[in-house]
Structure 1
Amino acid sequence: MSAPFPAPFDGRSQPLDGVQARVLATLMEKSRTVPDSYPLTLNSLVAGCNQKSSREPVLQLSEGEVQEALDGLRRRALVVEIGGARVARWEHNFPRGVGVPDQSAVLLSLLMLRGPQTAGELRINAERWHRFADISSVEAFLDELAERSDERGGPLVALLPRAPGARESRWAHLLCGAPQLPEAAPASAPAPAGGALPDRVQALEAEVAALRATVHRLCEQLGLDAAGA
């Protein structure tokens, strides 16, 4: 009797926690960037999770925390333990476990490792993992992930509101549930009607008044009409 097909991944009802996301994305990264060292031992995986480059945020996870995350991911068929002669190794089951093509798995992993990014940033950061033809192809996979139907587990990414001063909006993954949006800065209170002008304007007005007085004195000394000064 064949094993039942795993239920579609749903980050809304059963989201990953932050450590699970880091572990899963690190396995995905190392399978692409250092295939000769893959699958990973627990020690190698801990080092990959805690590296300071290409990580946002930088974490300091213990072996126990990573092992606990692996156990949780294994129960959800997202990682597999490979028994070895001396030490166990781990590999991801990301595309099949989440139900996405390899290109989408790459984008989701980058978002888990580096945080929200624009489509252009994702294309650049994916260069060692998968070479996307252009930004449009990245956006096509992101749109597909954002429009994922409820029958397939719902959306896996969302386009965030454009930050003040930013030229483009950034994408965030939803594997850990809805992303935490930064709180908007409180609006400045309007200046009261008839209130004092800013200090700089007051200083300029004082300087103009002093210049006027100087002009008047010069005109008087030269016997000129100071009425227009």
Structure 2
Amino acid sequence: MDISLNSHEARVFGVLIEKGYTTPDQYPLSLNAATNGCNQKSNRDPQVDFSEAEVRIALQGLRMKGLIGGSMQTGSRVEKYRHNAREILKVGERAIAVLAELLLRGPQTAGEIRTRAKRMRDIPTLEDLAQLLAELEAAGFVREVPGGRATKYKQSLCGTLHPDGEPEPVAPPERPAERLAGARPSPMDAPTASSAPAAPPEELAERVETLEAQVAELQTTVARLVAELGA
């Protein structure tokens, strides 16, 4: 299924899914509640500051794609919105929770996804998560992020929301000889008398004069001690 969302629609869609799981008593969401959910600081990457007008436009776009529906509850003049992810995406509850987590927080490792999605739906093991990711990947909703040291996964509904970054640089493996050479200085690197720069004659003369004065002082001290002991 080919679904393409802009960054505002992706955030709003993720919020509607999340709140349906985490705050069912306050679901479906009003425009104000959806806006607050988009702008909250926890469990969000990137953090945003959407206006209600921007969220309203995103809701209209999602409604046109069939991903959400609106309703007016009895005795209320405020329209409220709920997602249609199960009906449109044709995947299970836990897979929808994984997708929402990736929409809201960007690329993550399997361990991060399992831990963070737990607030919506429990995923008992990493093997269970692997099956969910495979299901979402087969449907075209999730894919692996290229490069990097640890395998990460990202949502595929909005390409501009979390663009792929440059792969992490990986240093080539160090050979044992290079490791030893780096840990132990080579004899060729040790300074030698011939390679040391020669001091100017004036500096040498000053050093000699200082040493001679120190020797003379020591000789005087020794002579005094000998005289005292002899007495």
TM-score, structure 2 normalization: 0.70
Deviation, 1:91, is 0.9
Structure 1: how far apart are the matches of 2:24 and 2:194? 76
The one-letter amino acid paired with 1:50 is N
Deviation at residue 97 of structure 1 after TM alignment: 1.8
Q: CA deviation at 1:118?
A: 1.0
Q: Could you say which residue in structure 2 is the equivalent of 1:83?
A: 72
Report Cα offsets for 1:63-87 as digits up to 9, x if no partner. Answer: 1110001011111111111113231
Higher helix share: 2
**Percent of aligned pairs with the same amino acid:** 37
- 1:175 is the counterpart of 2:157: yes
Query: Superposed, which structure 2 residues align to 1:57-206 within 5 Å?
Result: 57-84=46-73, 85-148=76-139, 155-163=140-148, 166=149, 168-177=150-159, 180-184=163-167, 205=189
Cα distance per residue 1:152-210 (max 9 Å; x no partner): xxx211111241xx3x20001111148622135899xxxxxxxxxxxxx9xx95x7246
Change (3 A) 1:26 1:181: same
Distance change (3 Å), C-alpha of 1:22 and 1:140 = same
1:71-115 deviations in Å (ceiling 9; x for gaps)? 111111111111132311111111212222111111111000000
Which is higher, the Rg of structure 1 or of structure 2? 2
Q: Which has the higher contact order (CA 8 A, sep 6+)?
A: 1
Deviates more, 1:117-126 or 1:90-99: 90-99
Q: Give yes or no for the alignment of 1:48 onto 2:40.
A: no
Q: Unaligned stretches of 5+ in structure 2?
A: 171-184, 198-231
On the 8 A contact 2:94/2:122 being kept in 1, the answer is no
Secondary structure of the residue aligned to 2:154 is strand
Letter in structure 1 aligned against 2:2: D
Gaps in structure 1 of 5+ consecutive residues? 1-8, 149-154, 188-200, 215-229
Partner of 1:197: none
User: Which residue type is aligned with residue 10 of structure 1?
Assistant: D
SS in 1 for 2:191: helix
Q: Secondary structure at the match of 2:119?
A: coil
Q: 1:35 maps to which residue?
A: 24
The corresponding residue for 1:223 is none
CA-atom RMSD, angstroms? Answer: 2.6
Rounded Cα–Cα distance in structure 2 between residues aligned with 1:88 and 1:181? 37
Number of matched pairs: 178
Quote the residue 2:2 is aligned against.
10
**Rounded Cα–Cα distance in structure 1 between residues aligned with 2:168 and 2:132:** 33
